[in-house]
Structure 1
Amino acid sequence: RQHFDRDCAYMEGVSTEPEQYHIWIFKLINHMFDNTIATVGILNTNENVVKIEQSIEQRIIFPHVESIINEIGNYRKAYVDFVQKFDAEISLSNYIDELRQNDERYPLLPYFNVSRILTTNPLEEFRVKMQNLPFADAIYPLTTFVLKRLNDYANIRYLYPIMEFSKYLISKYNHRIQRNDAAILTIEEALQKEDVDSQTMRVLCNQFIDAWYKINLSSVRLGCQAPKFVR
């Protein structure tokens, strides 16, 4: 029971449709009754157990990893066909799930079905597919390298407004402000001025603040130093 629960939890984690992972498990169980993994002998040693597990993995799991979504769709359609034999009335949910189509009764429904993809996360779905692909690190080394560090690379978009505001301050005040004023003048006081430069600074400052609190880096390396982010 515990072993099966762990397998179910794993399947749910790697599936692009977590709520439908059990359908794929049922499909795999059906394949296990085929002759594709027929093995002579008994599971009386660890070596025999490993052999049967490898056989299941190579002959069933890997061939179907790329077709999880198609397997689920075909299985659900087969289920609808089975139910329809006993109930002639097709439920609305089957049309919504794109298992059935009736252009006369629901002419605009395909539009909403196509638009529904906007509510999904294609990047997350692609990441899950790459994670499930056997030997992905060897076949697509650059893609897997980027995906593993995607959270770090997502911070790149926040670096530009931070650097832009910093360079603006350097350009505006470097060698153009007295030392005493530089020691006491705050950015807030500079923003209070009603000139064109202050308006530009105000826009850059707001962009800087927004990026500063969204960036997800804990430290940045500069030469041999790695200063910590302190907000």
Structure 2
Amino acid sequence: MSEHGPLIVGAAFASSVVAAITGTGGSVILLPVLVGVFGVREAVPIFSVVALVSNLSRVGMNWPSIDRKAVAWYSLGSIPFTLLGAWLFTRIPDTGLLRILGIFLIASVIARRVHPALRSTFRPQWFSLIGAIFAVFSAITGSAGPFVAPFYLSYGLTKAAYIGTEAAGATIAHIFRLGAYQGFGAITFRMWLDGLMLGPVMIGGTFLGKKLLERIPTRFFILIVEIIVFGFGIKFLLQ
């Protein structure tokens, strides 16, 4: 990783800052870089290690505001289907993974733009179904944060409550996902090490993002990121 170290560290830091400010979107910055350096088969498990550290840091920094009920219901659905998604990850060919990832990147940009609001009364029990659906997708692509975000917002969570709750649910899913990757032989010791080495960078970015959360406008920055991400999505689809 030394040759591409500065690029990976920069992408990791930027992704953690964005995730700390918006609650999601970090994956679409870091994942394309990891895919370019390691290939899709190694990039997704490495990203899961990085994401675990990043989500844990957001949980710690927003702990008092977390909605435990939403996390519990989300985890009820996500845990078993995370295992299914990890198994599918080991069975899908590399070209298929790249195309799925390309669709994910493009759709994540569209999801942020459309950002559907669910106007009906949102019950916490619904998170069980949401967790189940997106756990499979997340285990294959590494993340599904941009798609889960509208549901947390529709539940009424904002700012620290939204960021902390989303991170807590994702943390639990990542723990089981990494355990499944290990059991299926999809992650090696070196991949664990590569991901953990980025941990301090992610924590630093989370701390900065937390400080900036209520102080800076993010629309222009996110627009630039979305353009880059959309381009990577097209690139992966064409490979």
TM-score (norm 1): 0.26
Q: Which structure is larger by alpha-carbon Rg, 1 or 2?
A: 1
RCO comparison, higher one (Cα < 8 Å, 6+) = 2
